[in-house]
A = this chain, B = another copy of it.
Amino acid sequence: MMKLEQAREQFKTIAARLKAYQYVLGLANWDMSTLAPPKGKQAAAKAIGVLSGERFAITVSPELREVVETILANKDEATRVEVREAELLYEDMEKLEKIPKEEYQEYSELQSTSMFVWEDAKEQNDFDMFAPYLEKILYFSRRFAKLTKPDMHPYNACLDDYEKGVTMTELDAFFGAVREKTVPLVERIAKDGRAIRDDFMLRTYPVDKQEEISRRLLELIGFDMKAGVMAASEHPFTNEITTGDVRLTTHFYENMLTSAMLSTVHEGGHGLYEQHAQLSPVVGGTTLATGVSMGIHESQSRFYENSIGRSLPFWEYFFPILKDAYPQQLADVTLEEFYRAINIAKPGLIRIEADELTYNLHIMVRYELEKLLLEGSVAVKDLPRLWNEKYEAYLGVTPPDNARGVLQDVHWSGGMLGYFPSYALGNAYAAQMFATMRKTLDFDGLCRKGDLAPIGAWLNENVHQYGCLKKPGELIVDITGESLNPQYLTDYLQDKFEKVYF
């Protein structure tokens, strides 16, 4: 067998190749969602398929296997970072080796193609246009689950890609707890909560000013614009391109005051995680210099969006700035009115416009449908009906069309079945970390001064700098002293919405 020194040397070359493909595939994904012209997308999707296949070939190559096995056979001598790098690559290759390269390539092309088909389908409110693509996505998801993790329930296999170790058992319990606390509170608010005015939210807010504000918010949370880009896209997202280049998008609506701002800080939370991981003294420069799981990633974005971006202390600082930007539109609005308006808890149709309280119910709908889809117990053609029924049952609203129903989210089109629960897990992780953070940081005082740097530093020290080194479960225990506990989330929500509404 190879010597450790030799393995280290060879790993450098292979890692550089993997990083090169990660760069261009990330760039292609970014470009397809922001700039690429419609007539070029088919050829681009084809190219993305080919290049995904090339990356696939490196991951399953005998060269990489030998390197990885050498490191794993020398765990005592290798560093902790090296061992974890090898473990993660080993998992990847064990999984991918079970998938034929041609199928992987075909699937990669499909992911790109179906994303732009979805965009058109959503715009034209035409589910039938998207359905055949979703069927193919589902076919591959089920097939790959069966090939790679034959002993798992196919949905657990999907979940495993986004939040290792979390299965339907944990999620059923989790959503049960959330639902039990949320639904009665939502009902009580509807019945007895105070009336909150939000007429001013839909006034005209010119987009150029909104863009300035979004840039200012990113600066405020510490996102480095020299190592990143902000742009606009249909569906906001964050994309780490390469070291020193983390990009995010937002979406500006002239008649919605807060949509872009909250999207920007949400994506900014993702972006900060990636930027800090890249600069980390622990994992920077290694393959671990990225977010560890989608649940932890969402904990960062949801933290910035909600714990900061929907908090009273933060708006004590930022509302005067916002009023300066829109003096006429906000002339008759007080801080308190504004704060209450961005926290109206009212069941709605659109997940990304949802308040913190009802948000998890939107996720539940998707969670339950994904389970059924992966099990094979419902057909794609029945999705719009089931979607609407569940919205009626959990949220009491019925989508008037599929654009505002089953077609609203990008995830399934990109093959991300099993991703949605990450949002709810993220909320729970965030609430649990938040409770710990408050023990040592004067969170409210810092927000009131607009001094968010110590908060970013806390997250960097506890989360970001580890990149993928610590597993999600390990991370949360190290930070908070206990494993994931939904009580923090439900307590936080109970406390917050009592104050907002009663």
Contact = CB atoms under 8 A, between A and B. Distances in A.
Contacts of A37: 225-229, 244-245
A47 interface: yes
Given A35-B229, A225-B37, A227-B40, A24 B28 contact: yes
Contacts of A225: 37
A41 B244 CA distance: 8
Given A35-B229, A51-B24, A229-B35, A244 B17 contact: no
A335 B162 CA distance: 64
A245 B47 contact: no
A62 to B, nearest CB: 18
Interface in A200-256: 224-229, 231, 241-245
A38 interface: yes
Given A31-B31, A37-B225, A244 B42 contact: yes
A24 B47 contact: yes
Given A24-B28, A31-B31, A244 B40 contact: yes
A465 B266 CA distance: 48
A358 B27 CA distance: 41
Contacts of A439: none
Contacts of A41: 244
Nearest to A24: B24
A416 to B, nearest CB: 23
A43 interface: yes
Nearest to A19: B47
Contact of A242 (B21, B24, B40, B245): B40
A397 interface: no
A171 interface: no
A453 interface: no
Interface string A12-46: 00001101110110011001000111111111101
A350 interface: no
Contacts of A229: 35-37
| Interface of A (DSSP majority class) | helix
A244 B43 contact: yes
A23 B48 CA distance: 9
Measured as residues with beta carbon below 8 angstroms from the partner, the interface class of chain A is: 35 or more
A52 to B, nearest CB: 10
A51 B225 CA distance: 27
Pick from A28, A31, A39, A241 the residue with the most CB of B within 10 Å: A39
Pick from A224, A227, A229, A242 the residue with the most CB of B within 10 Å: A242
A368 interface: no
Contacts of A103: none
A28 B242 CA distance: 12
Pick from A24, A54, A227, A241 the residue with the most CB of B within 10 Å: A24
Contacts of A35: 229, 231
Pick from A48, A54, A231, A244 the residue with the most CB of B within 10 Å: A244
A50 interface: yes
A489 B27 CA distance: 43
Nearest to A38: B226
A50 B243 contact: no
Contact of A224 (B27, B39, B242): B39
Pick from A27, A42, A47, A243 the residue with the most CB of B within 10 Å: A47
A334 to B, nearest CB: 35
A44 B242 contact: yes
Contacts of A20: 46-48, 50-51, 54
A290 B231 CA distance: 31
A267 to B, nearest CB: 15
Contacts of A43: 19, 23, 242-245
A47 B15 CA distance: 11
Nearest to A22: B47
Given A19-B46, A35-B229, 8 more contacts: A19-B43, A20-B50, A24-B51, A31-B31, A36-B229, A39-B227, A40-B244, A44-B242
10 contacts: A19-B43, A21-B51, A24-B28, A37-B244, A39-B227, A39-B244, A40-B243, A43-B244, A44-B241, A54-B54
Interface of A: 16-17, 19-21, 23-24, 27-28, 31, 35-44, 46-48, 50-51, 54, 224-229, 231, 241-245
